Amino acid sequence: MIKKIAVIFSFLLCVSCQNFGKLQLIASLPNDLEEVSGTEIVAKSDLIWMLNDSGNKSKIYGVTQKGKIKKELTIKAKNNDWEDLTSDDKGNIYIGDFGNNECKRKNLVILKVKHKDVSKSKKIAVDKIKFYYPNQTKFPPKKKQYYYDAESFFYFNNFFYIFTKSRVKSKFGKTSLYKIPAVKGNHKAVFISEFNHCKEMDCWITSADISQDGSKVALLSPSSVLVFSDYKNDDFLSGKVTEITLNHTSQKEGITFKTNDVLLITDEKAHGVGGNFYELKI
């Protein structure tokens, strides 16, 4: 008992010495989520769902409000490069398998996990929603055209909205917004608009979500959150933008709205930092 108390005290002391800027630490995530890349609050579930990116098991994890893994679902699909999670109002979960670091993939896909299968313990079959960028003609293109990676998307009104991640030097903060219908098929992604955050790597767009009332869109980068509002129709990059500088830099790759004014954020464990679950009031 004394040893257990000592371990807890040491953890609390360590946490108290760290500076998380504007983020409020909820918990340190388990080792199974060291490379967490997507985070989503799902309707009809009391869990927060998370996933890891490429090189990890084809699983999604149901996590408690305190960051503990309560459920694991094994998916019958390869984790080519899973990057983000979203869901619809029926409780269906969607996995964005569209990480594309070298911009050479021709198998970009969104995987649908049906709500009725979330309670199962066996491997889960998924529907595949394929898509492509119509303005990409070479795989890979020249490096100055490395605009076809993506780590961010959300579901809204029967469509998926995908925000790309630029890998072009001095244009790392550029993101392009595309939409595709949320139904099976092989869809041409429709370009809507673009936004240029800044030039540096810590401006990369790594996750996205829309508030429950549809009035705000949040885009995550390693060092800040961009909140868009007062946009026109589904051009979410139009209108007013507010940048919240987090005063904390890490490999942040997951964001979801808890309420219209509170965000949940996760970061990968890398270079001795991260691997945590945070809350941010906006």
**Within-domain flag for 35:** yes
Check pLDDT > 60 for residue 137.
yes
Check pLDDT > 50 for residue 233.
yes
Does residue 163 or residue 4 have the better pLDDT? Answer: 163
Alpha carbon of 69 to those of 5, 63, 73: distances in Å?
22, 4, 11
**Within-domain flag for 196:** yes
Alpha carbon of 100 to those of 89, 97, 132, 262: distances in Å?
28, 9, 12, 30
Structural domains counted in the chain:
1
Check pLDDT > 90 for residue 125.
yes
Residue-level pLDDT at 9: 41
Q: What is the pLDDT of residues 171-190, one digit of tens each?
A: 999 999 999 999 999 999 99
Residue-level pLDDT at 119: 87
**Within-domain flag for 42:** yes
Task: State how far the Cα of 81 lies from the Cα of 150, in Å rounded to an integer.
Answer: 10
Among residues of the chain, what percentage have pLDDT more than 90?
Answer: 88
Does residue 276 or residue 270 have the better pLDDT? Answer: 276
Residue-level pLDDT at 15: 47
Task: State how far the Cα of 207 lies from the Cα of 220, in Å rounded to an integer.
Answer: 5
Q: What angle do CA 191, 110, 200 make, to 5 degrees?
A: 55
Sheet holding 276-281: strands in order across? Answer: 24-28, 276-281, 262-267, 252-259
Going by pLDDT thresholds of 50, 70 and 90, the confidence category of residue 197 is: confident
Residue-level pLDDT at 13: 42
**Within-domain flag for 5:** no
pTM over 0.75: yes
Check pLDDT > 60 for residue 52.
yes
Contact 182, 88 (CB under 8 A): yes
Task: State how far the Cα of 156 lies from the Cα of 55, in Å rounded to an integer.
Answer: 29
DSSP 3-state of 33: helix
CA atoms 162, 277, 69, 253: torsion sign: positive
Residue-level pLDDT at 12: 45
Q: 199 is in which domain, residue-wise? A: 22-281
Out of 15-19, 62-66, 105-109, pick the least confident.
15-19
**Within-domain flag for 11:** no
Q: What is the mean pLDDT of the chain?
A: 93
CATH number, residue 137: 2.115.10.20
**Within-domain flag for 106:** yes
**Within-domain flag for 249:** yes
Residue-level pLDDT at 8: 42
Residue-level pLDDT at 2: 52
**Within-domain flag for 9:** no
Mean pLDDT (whole number) for 126-147: 97
